[in-house]
């Protein structure tokens, strides 16, 4: 009731209406205001306009302003209830939406960070395993290289010893052959010498017998 008296008093101070502006205004920090068919409270209420609802200014006056709603409905509202600044409720809603979007993005970034950390940990473990494997392969290669060097050395020594053994075998065979020939010669000499001795003994024996016979005859 008090608001109605105030509004009526303000209406009694009505002033001329100004020119039309192609601008958007908002209902200020009030829950609802009336949209009337004419510039005065005696005109019919054709709609209720909520706080933050955008209106298009058709004719702006000091007391009443003709506006158009989003649904193309036209009427008059009290100018003092309009503002070119967006109400705090709208700003708060936008801020809340931006906050929710940022929070969602932050959550996505946190999840992405967790995923990248897990991937990094996996890569670290894989790198460590490959590093250990490389160390083992390097050690095995070094051992193989040493073994190969030793094998080549042993192979060279084997060839050398084998060659020397073959040469020694050949010399041994030659010596055995020479010794065998020498033995045969020695045996032959012994046989000849023995035969010669026997022959000489035989001859001496024969000569002795002849001498004894001659002595007997004398």
Helix (H) or strand (E) holding 152: helix 88-217
- The percentage of the chain sitting over the pLDDT mark of 90, rounded to a whole number, equals 16
Which of the four pLDDT bands, split at 50, 70 and 90, describes residue 212?
Answer: low
Predicted confidence (pLDDT) at residue 127 exceeds the cutoff of 50: yes
pLDDT, position 216: 53
Neighbours of 17 (CB within 10 A): 17
pLDDT: which is higher, 38 or 23: 38
d(CA 35, CA 93): 25
**Could you say which DSSP state residue 81 is in?**
G
pLDDT, position 208: 66
Q: CATH assignment of 2-86?
A: 2.30.30.40
All structural domains of the chain with their residue ranges: 2-86, 88-181
Over residues 175-187, the mean pLDDT reads 74
Predicted confidence (pLDDT) at residue 190 exceeds the cutoff of 80: no
d(CA 181, CA 161): 29
């Amino acid at each position: 009731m008090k608001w109605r008296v105030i509004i009526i008093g303000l209406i009694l101070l009505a002033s001329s209406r100004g020119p039309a502006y192609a601008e958007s205004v908002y209902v200020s920090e009030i829950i609802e205001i009336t949209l009337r068919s004419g510039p005065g409270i005696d005109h019919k209420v054709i709609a209720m306009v909520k706080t933050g609802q955008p209106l298009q200014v058709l004719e702006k006056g000091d007391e009443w302003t003709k506006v158009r709603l989003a649904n193309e409905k036209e009427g008059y509202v009290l100018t003092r209830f309009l503002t070119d600044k967006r109400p705090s409720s709208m700003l708060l809603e936008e801020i809340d939406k931006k906050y929710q979007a940022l929070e969602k993005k932050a959550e996505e970034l946190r999840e992405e960070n967790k995923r990248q950390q897990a991937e990094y940990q996996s890569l670290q473990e894989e790198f460590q395993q490959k590093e250990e494997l490389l160390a083992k392969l390097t050690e095995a290669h070094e051992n193989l290289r040493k073994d190969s060097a030793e094998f080549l050395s042993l192979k060279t020594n084997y060839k050398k010893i084998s060659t020397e053994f073959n040469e020694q075998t050949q010399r041994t065979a030659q010596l055995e052959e020479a010794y065998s020939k020498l033995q045969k010669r020695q045996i032959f000499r012994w046989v000849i010498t023995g035969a010669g001795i026997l022959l000489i003994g035989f001859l001496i024996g024969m000569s002795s017998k002849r001498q004894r016979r001659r002595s007997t005859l004398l």
